[in-house]
Structure 1
C-alpha cells in the first residue's frame, strides 16, 4: 500500500522542516517526492508527486504565471507543492494558495531549512520498508532483522539480531573470506559447522553471511533473510563499495549510535591496531564532499593527510562525509587543534588532485578523552558540517567554537527561532520586501565590520552620507540605537538566525531582479 501525504509529513525530515499545511487533503496517496526549481516542471511530472521547491523558479513571476504554474502541476497529477519560506519568498504568494485550493493540490509551507535530498531519501526508505513489510509481514524473523536496518542501528546490531534468531554466532565476511563484522552477544559457536549464504547487491556478490552452527531449517531461513537484510544495510552506504572494512564498520556504528560503550569501542579499535593512549585526547573530524563526487574517492587522500599530520587514524564514510578519528595530545588547546587541521586540510587538497574542488568544509569536534564520548563527538562534527552548509560556508576548517552561536540557535525550537527573527528584524524585512530596499543588507554589513561606518560604506560601495541615512532609517524602523552594544548584539544574533533559516548570503538576499 502506497503512503499518504499524512505518512510523508510524519517522516523525520518533514517534521524537522516545521511544515505548515496551508491547504490540501492529507489522505492523498503519494507516489514519489521530487525537488525542482524549474518553472515548467508540470510537464515533467508523472502524477502522485510531492514537489519540493525553494521558489527560485517562481521569483519575479507575474500573478498569472503563478496561477499557471500550479494549474500545470495539478494537470500532471501533482499531490502537493511544498515551498521553503524565507528564501525566495518571505510569505506565500496568495495566487499559489488560491490556485492550489481550487485545484485540490495540497500546499505545504516549510518554515525550517532541511536539505531536499534528505526528504527524498526518507521517502525512498519509507517505500522500501512498506514493500518489504507487506511481502514479509507474516515472517517474524524478517521483521526482527529489518528493524535494525530501518532505524539505522548499524551492522553490528543487525548481526546481533541474526545471532539471537539463529542461536549461534554470526559473521559477515567479504569476498576474500576476511571477517568484516561479527555478532557480539553470548551465544554458542561451532568450530566446524557453518551455514553460509551469499550477500548479493546490484553490482554482484558483496560477501557472505556465516552462521557458526549446525545447519537446521530455522538457521537456513534466518541465513537467507539475514543476507537480504545485510544487503539493505550495505545499500545505506553506497559509497563504501562491496567490501566495507572494520574501520568503516566502526565509523558506521558510531554515526548510527550503535557503538556507545567505551569498552566495546576500545576493543574494536584495538582489533584494528588503533588504541588511544592514556589521558590522550581523541580528535574527531568530518570532511564534507560535494555530492557530485563519490565520497569514497576522497577517503584515501583524507586518510593519508591525517596520517601525515597526526599519525595513524581510523576513517570511513558517512553520507557525503569522510569521518576520521585521530590521536590527539594530553593538552588540546584550540590554537594547536586549529593549526593541525589547517595543515590536514591543505594536505587533503594537495593529495586530492583534480578532486580537490569537491572538498568542502573540514569540521572538527571538541577533543574528547573518554571513549564513551567519541560517538557524540562524531555527531558534533557532522552537525558542524550541516550548519556550515546552512550558513553558506563551503570551504576551510571549522571548529565547534567557530559556530557556537549557530549550534545554540539550531538546538532551539524552530518556532522560537522564527519568532526571534521576526521580533528583531521584522520591520526591516517587511521594508525591504515591499520596496526592494537594502536595509537588512546594510545592517548585516555594519555588524560584520564591527560597527565601523567607514569599512561598512566601503564594503557596500556607497558614500558615507548614504550609509548614515540608511542606518538612521534602520534605527527608526526598529526603535533602537545602533550605539547601544546590547541592541547590536541582539541584531547580530538575529542576522545569524535569519541566514541559517534561509541558507542565503544576506548581502545578496534582497536582490529583486526579475526571473
Structure 2
C-alpha cells in the first residue's frame, strides 16, 4: 500500500520538514519523490509525486511566475513541494505561499541543509516496501497463464508496484513501459510516439526502474511484454484498466 504524504513526513529523514499549508491534503498517497529545479516540472509528472527543490530557479522568477509554478504543480497532479531554505531562498515568497494556500497544496520547508539523496532513498524504500521482491515464476505463454488461472499472480509479480498506483500515473507508466519495450528503449522515439518531451520519458524511466527493478535483461523484458499483453486481454482483476487498454492500442 502506498504511503501517505504524512507517512513520508514521519520518516526520520524528513523529521525536520515544516508544513506551511495543505494540512488537509496530507492523507494523499505519494507515488514517487523527485528532485527538480525547473519551473515547468508539471510537464514531467505522472500524478502523486512529491517534489524537492533548493529554489534556485524559483528565487529568480518573477512573482507571477512563482505563483504560476505552484498552480501548475497543483493542477498537474503533484501532491506536495518541499523547499530547502538555505542557499537560494531564505524564506518562502508570499506569492508562492498564497498560491499554495489557494489550492490547499501541501507546501513544506527545510530550514537547514539536507541531503536529497537521503530523502529520496528513504521515501522510495517506503513507497516500494510492499513490492520489493519481484519473482519471475510461471510459464510466459499467455494461453497457459490464463487457462491455469495463474495470470493474476503473474501480473502482480511483474507489474504489481505500477498496478497499485491510482489510475492516472498507472496509465502513464504502463503506456511508457509498453512504448519503450516496443522500441528498444529509444528515448527519442518514445517521446515522439507519446507526444511528450524527452525529459518526461527520462523521469518516467527512472520511476519504472525504481518500481520494477531490472529492465535491461532480455528475459525480464520478455516477461514484461507478456504481462502487458495479459493485461490487455484479461483485465479482470484490476480496476480502471480500460484506460491502459486504450493507451496500449494507441502505441501498437
Q: TM-score by structure 1 length? A: 0.25
SS in 2 for 1:100: helix
Task: Say whether residues 1:109 and 2:123 are aligned partners.
Answer: no
Q: Distance in 1 between matches of 2:132 and 2:65?
A: 42
Give the conservation status (yes or no) of the 8 Å contact 2:86–2:113. Answer: no
Task: Say whether residues 1:9 and 2:9 are aligned partners.
Answer: yes
Tell me which residue corresponds to 1:419: none
1:18-417 matches, cutoff 5 A:
18-24=16-22, 25-131=25-131, 202=214
Q: Distance in 1 between matches of 2:92 and 2:78?
A: 18
Cα deviations by residue, 1:237-273 (Å, 9 ceiling, x for unpaired): xxxxxxxxxxxxxxxxxxxxxxxxxxxxxxxxxxxxx
Q: Distance in 1 between matches of 2:66 and 2:50?
A: 18
The Cα shift of 1:30 comes to 0.8
The Cα shift of 1:91 comes to 1.0
Q: Distance in 2 between matches of 1:47 and 1:60?
A: 26
Tell me which residue corresponds to 2:185: none
Q: TM-score by structure 2 length? A: 0.50
**Which segments of 5 or more consecutive residues in structure 1 lack a partner in the other structure?**
134-200, 205-515
Relative contact order higher in (CA < 8 Å, ≥ 6 apart): 2
Q: Distance in 2 between matches of 1:65 and 1:127?
A: 32
Q: Distance in 2 between matches of 1:8 and 1:131?
A: 17
SS in 1 for 2:60: coil
SS in 2 for 1:59: helix
Q: Distance in 2 between matches of 1:112 and 1:86?
A: 6
| Larger proportion of helix | 2
Q: Distance in 1 between matches of 2:64 and 2:94?
A: 12
Cα deviations by residue, 1:18-58 (Å, 9 ceiling, x for unpaired): 21100112211111111111111112211101110000011
Give the conservation status (yes or no) of the 8 Å contact 2:32–2:127. Answer: no
SS in 2 for 1:74: helix
| Larger proportion of strand | 1
The Cα shift of 1:104 comes to 2.3
The Cα shift of 1:132 comes to 5.1
Q: Distance in 2 between matches of 1:127 and 1:81?
A: 17
Aligned-pair RMSD on alpha carbons?
2.1
**Which segments of 5 or more consecutive residues in structure 2 lack a partner in the other structure?**
134-212, 218-252
Q: Distance in 2 between matches of 1:59 and 1:132?
A: 38
Q: Distance in 2 between matches of 1:37 and 1:91?
A: 17
**Structure 1 stretches (4+) deviating beyond 3 angstroms?**
201-204
Q: Distance in 1 between matches of 2:52 and 2:32?
A: 11
